[in-house]
Amino acid sequence: MTEMLNATVLKLGSVAPEFWLETPDGQAVNRHDFRNKAGLIVVLLTPSEAAWQYVRTLAQDDTELRELKVRIIAIARVNAEAVKNVILPESVTLLVDPKDKAWTAYTGLPAGSHPEAMAVYVLDLYGGLEAQRVVGSVAEAPEAETVLDWARGAQYRCNI
């Protein structure tokens, strides 16, 4: 099972799959909305206090994220009602994906599979995949500083 989660489904440098999802209040958002505006840290998660704390930790250096022009997209694998009371920093856009469309597109794993798993992707300004990690639990997720380093690298390559 762990081998399947550690497999890299998307090819580094390729354009990441599009997503069309909604915020908990019903606003439509897609990956293309950020093209040429911001690099993305995309976190696919099943809501738990540990998962929300992980996202908050990723967002803790808001000043650098702004300088890098990087947004965090937290995609919760649940319906809007399940996350209505979640409060996240301004640098995080929360989306809901009750049908697991993004999970399937990004990980290659079936909808509803691995409910404790989490996935982290770093995309450059154009949606190109810089880094990816799919893990069995929040405890196995990459350190926030590692993810920030990936985002720095992605943005640096886009600006040279």
pLDDT mean over 77-102: 95
CATH code: domain of residue 44? 3.40.30.10
Give 74's strand partners: 43, 94
Residues 45 and 146: their CA atoms lie apart, in Å, by 18
Specify the 3-state DSSP secondary structure of 88: coil
Q: What is the mean pLDDT of the chain?
A: 91
Residues 133 and 33: their CA atoms lie apart, in Å, by 23
The CA radius of gyration of the chain, in Å to the nearest whole number, is 14
Categorize the per-residue pLDDT at 7 as very low, low, confident or very high, splitting at 50, 70 and 90: low
The label of the residue with tokens 């996350």 reads 83
Residue with more model confidence, 94 or 13: 94
Identify whether the C-beta of residue 62 lies closer than 8 Å to the C-beta of residue 31: no
Residue with more model confidence, 36 or 75: 75
What range defines the domain where residue 153 resides? 2-159
**Which tens digits make up the pLDDT trace of 113-154?**
999 999 999 999 999 999 999 999 999 999 999 999 999 988
Q: Is the pLDDT of residue 160 over 60?
A: no
Q: Is the pLDDT of residue 91 over 80?
A: yes
pLDDT over 70 percentage in the chain: 93
Residue type at 57 in one-letter notation = T
pTM of the predicted model as reported, rounded to 2 decimal places: 0.93
What domain count does the chain have?
Answer: 1
